[in-house]
Chains A and B, each alone.
Chain A
Amino acid sequence: MTNLAPAYSPTIAPSDSPELDPFDDFPAPSWAPSWAPGHTPGTRPGIRSTLTLAGNGVLRRRKPKLAYAAVVIVGVMAIVVTQLLLSIGLSNGAYQIESLQSTQKDLGRSNESLSEKIDSLSSPQNLAASAESLGMVSNVNPVYLRLSDGAVLGTPKKAQASAGSLTGGQSSLTPNAAIAGAAAAGQPATPTAAAGAAAVTPSAPPAAAAAATVPWTGELPSPTTH
């Protein structure tokens, strides 16, 4: 290819402008002196001298090119490594997300399932039956304490077992198929257990007895007054 060089060199001399930007794909042509600082038109050599200087020009160019190449390679490598690290991080994150999402899904499901049980167990049918199995009845004679003057409105009367019973022993009159499901599925069926305990010691509410053995932790409750 060297034999072709002379034909081009008179018009375009990219080789003799070592300070041109090595990344410039279109170096300024030799007839554009303003692009080649250090080469004033007056000092411009002839064709021959250009050829002689070509070798020197190549030698002089080597050093800066190496530095640029090194920068480029190091830069590329840095980018590759960073990218690699990033994608490792991302995929790690993906697994973490996957595992957390599945945990979240499981927790969401058990939350839903437990709320469903709570909703069923707190249905009035279940509460009434549980309360009555503990021996509780409602008092049909309410008495009010008027706060403005402390007056007692109404005549206090003892609650009657017969009149105060909500279910009247006929809890099946307002059926709820959801309770059976909730009581059967998992959680210890509180009403049944309580009923059993109440049958053994009818005079002492089992809940109170159980509560007595639990020591109080935390702050003592204090009334909030406004």
Chain B
Amino acid sequence: MTSRRSTRNRIAVAIVVITAVVAVLVVKLVDIQVVQASSLNAQAYDKLSVGQTLYGARGDIVDSTGTVLATTVIRYDVTASPKDVADFTQTVNGAAVDVTPLQAAGQIGAITGQSATDVYALLTADPSSGYALIIKAIDLDKYNAIRALSIPWLQYQTNPQRVYPNGSVGGNLVGYLGADSSTNGGLEAKENQCLTGSDGSQTYEKGADGVAIPNTLVVDKAPVTGGTVMTTIDSDLQYYSQQVLAQQVTSTKAEWGSVVVEEVKTGKLLAVAQYPTPDPNNLDATDPHFWGATAFSDPFEPGSTFKAESAAALIDAGKATPATQVLVPYRYKAPGGSVITDSENHDPAQWTLTGVIQESSNVGISILSAMLTTQQRYDYMKKFHLGEKTEVNFPGESEGILGDPSQWGEQTLYNSSFGQGVTTTAAQIASIYQTLGNGGVRLPVSLVSGCKAADGSVSEQPSTQGEQVISSDAAQQTVNMMQSVVTGGYAASLLKIPGYNVAAKTGTAEVSNGQGAYGGGYLTSVAGLAPAEAPQYVVSVNLMKPVTIEDGSAAAPVFQKIMSQVLQKYRVLPSTTPAVNYPTSY
């Protein structure tokens, strides 16, 4: 019985001990598995998991043929951990070489273009720090070269940067990126919403050697690449226009110049050139005033190119025909006492409306325009969308100044017929000529043809709804009248394009000195259409205050060259009909 009892005791003790141990284990198990489970899991995950940012790059801006005007590239920032800076071993030609921090600084500097002492100073500025920027935004070649040095205390971060492969070609339109989106310029600002991408993120768990453990990759958020802004600009034509304009601006010593090329049948802007134009890669080389597009932002009194609008209004209202006769004195005193003179002294001349256009007579167009009421004149200007922004709505775009017709004095009433007393932007002038060339149908001016999202869908397509501003006949007769400027005006020899009938109008506008008076230079301009019998392209050239030539002859060669290039580039067949030859005098 003793042995049986001791056996029982042993069993009892064993059971108690086992139960106790199991109880302890169960408690611990519950503690780990249930109570602390989530925090322990999190800790483990933190040790294993690697989070990565997936960059959703800012979209490109492209021209009408897909040529990239602005894009995002990856650059690399190189940083060091100064507290870890020490000698390390480098393998050179298969042999291990010991490299000191100063030597390493020299190697880095040789690649980045910094001096060894500069780099070394950065490394040793704060030896306790874990972060020191060595150089920002180096390109891939330099990054690879530095990585090949296998310096253990260097770190690399990617740094997306904006580049403009075509430099100043379209630099006025493309714009620039500021410190934040509110200081962007040009299309970068206007189309910011389309261009902006959104970064995504992914996490995976890594093993001891840093390799991802299979099946642990989780994309938390997919990155979205920004949309592509498709412009109507032709970068080759834009370059040509800028180059030709720049040569003329510098040779005539003008303050600035602008060129607008618009397609008559679509309202698309093919080139919007200016000089000076910023190179968005190197903005600071250009006066900040020219960082935008002057063709939209800088209104001016257009001068005689505006006579086309006055003549078109007269014909459309049935008040005149190209053959309407008018006796034009050099100096005309209006009933209210205002005095208008022509630019050059002449005996009273018997001109037709065509002759008035050809000779660019202020007096002639004023006398004829007086056949329309102030309100009618104003209404025509409004129908041409003057005094309001174009549909482009470019950042900083100006409406121009039309004024309230009830406030127009008699002088303004007459002056406005030849483009003084009202201001327009270069884009508005081009739009007037587009309307005249398109049978009186004004099409919305477009610069951006759409925003193409990463998935290929296109949004923001501009309206193509036209408006009949004047009758088709009035439009074509106005264009025909302007042919006389190219066949017989003062700048005819500079405007002619062999093989084509061209309709154009020169302008030499007095520039306001900003204090309510004129003085101190002229805005010289040419706006025109070709081929005149079936207009396809508008070219409008404006030069502000040229010094060596002070009339439309300054702008004429630019018009002639750019229009020739346009006709050649777009394969417009030479005219087969002779130029329309309305009588200019009677």
- Residues of chain A at the chain B interface (Cβ within 8 Å): 90-91, 93-95, 97-98, 109-110, 112-113, 116, 119-120, 122-125, 128, 140-142, 144, 146, 153-155, 166-168, 170, 173-179, 181, 185-186
Contact = CB atoms under 8 A, between A and B. Distances in A.
Contacts of B168: 125, 174-176
Contacts of A91: 214
Given A110-B140, A153-B499, A154-B499, A173 B212 contact: no
Contacts of B167: 123, 125, 174-179
Given A94-B211, A109-B74, A123-B167, A128 B141 contact: no
A115 to B, nearest CB: 9
Name the residue in A122, A140, A155 with the highest tally of chain B Cβ atoms < 10 Å from its Cβ: A140
B582 interface: no
B381 to A, nearest CB: 35
A178 B169 contact: no
B282 interface: yes
Given A116-B73, A124-B236, A128-B243, 8 more contacts: A120-B165, A124-B166, A146-B573, A174-B167, A174-B239, A177-B167, A177-B279, A178-B163
B266 interface: no
B247 interface: yes
B431 interface: no
Interface string B154-181: 0000000001111111000000000000
A178 B281 contact: yes
Nearest to B167: A176
B281 A176 contact: yes
A26 to B, nearest CB: 25
B282 A125 contact: no
A153 B571 CA distance: 12
- How many B residues are at the interface, by size bracket? 35 or more
B275 interface: yes
Contacts of B163: 116, 120, 178
A110 B144 CA distance: 10
Nearest to A175: B279
Nearest to A163: B561
Nearest to B140: A113
A166 B282 CA distance: 23
A178 B165 contact: yes
Contacts of B285: 175
A190 B267 CA distance: 39
Given A124-B235, A168-B247, A176-B279, A185 B574 contact: no
B133 interface: no
B246 interface: yes
A176 B171 CA distance: 10
Given A124-B236, A140-B564, A166-B243, A94 B573 contact: no
Nearest 8 interchain pairs by C-beta: A176-B167, A119-B165, A124-B239, A173-B246, A177-B281, A113-B140, A177-B282, A123-B166
A173 B141 contact: no
Nearest to B235: A124
A211 to B, nearest CB: 25
A109 B138 CA distance: 13
A90 B281 contact: no
Given A124-B235, A173-B243, A177-B281, A98 B211 contact: yes
Contact of B242 (A94, A119, A174, A179): A174
Contacts of A155: 498-499
Interface of B: 67-68, 71, 73-74, 139-141, 163-169, 207, 211-215, 235-236, 238-240, 242-243, 246-247, 250, 275, 277, 279, 281-282, 285, 498-499, 561, 564, 567-568, 571, 573-574
Nearest to B277: A174
Contact of A178 (B164, B212, B246): B164
Contacts of B246: 170, 173-174
A97 B74 CA distance: 23
A181 B139 contact: yes
28 contacts: A94-B207, A95-B211, A113-B140, A113-B141, A116-B73, A116-B165, A119-B165, A119-B166, A124-B169, A124-B239, A124-B240, A128-B239, A142-B568, A144-B571, A144-B573, A154-B498, A154-B499, A166-B240, A168-B247, A170-B243, A173-B247, A173-B275, A174-B169, A174-B242, A176-B279, A177-B279, A178-B164, A178-B167
A155 B71 CA distance: 43
Nearest to A99: B211
B300 to A, nearest CB: 22
Contacts of A93: 214
A104 to B, nearest CB: 14
B213 A173 contact: no
A113 B215 CA distance: 32
Contacts of B242: 173-174
Given A98-B212, A125-B167, A128-B239, A170 B250 contact: yes
B211 A109 contact: no
Contact of B166 (A146, A173, A176): A176
Contacts of A95: 211
B152 to A, nearest CB: 19
Contact of A97 (B67, B139, B212, B574): B212
A175 B290 CA distance: 14
Contacts of A173: 242-243, 246-247, 250, 275
B247 A141 contact: no
Nearest to B286: A175
Given A140-B564, A174-B169, A176-B279, A112 B239 contact: no
Contacts of A174: 167-169, 239, 242-243, 246, 277
Contact of A186 (B141, B212, B250, B275): B141
Nearest to A117: B165
A98 B206 CA distance: 11
A110 B74 CA distance: 10
Given A140-B564, A175-B285, A170 B166 contact: no
A124 B282 CA distance: 17
Contact of A112 (B67, B73, B238): B73
A40 B144 CA distance: 87
Contacts of B140: 109-110, 112-113
A170 B275 CA distance: 13
A158 to B, nearest CB: 14
B141 A185 contact: yes
B169 A154 contact: no
Nearest to B285: A175
Nearest to B567: A142
A94 B71 contact: no
A124 B565 CA distance: 15
Name the residue in A124, A140, A166 with the highest tally of chain B Cβ atoms < 10 Å from its Cβ: A124
A200 to B, nearest CB: 28
Name the residue in A113, A166, A168, A176 with the highest tally of chain B Cβ atoms < 10 Å from its Cβ: A176
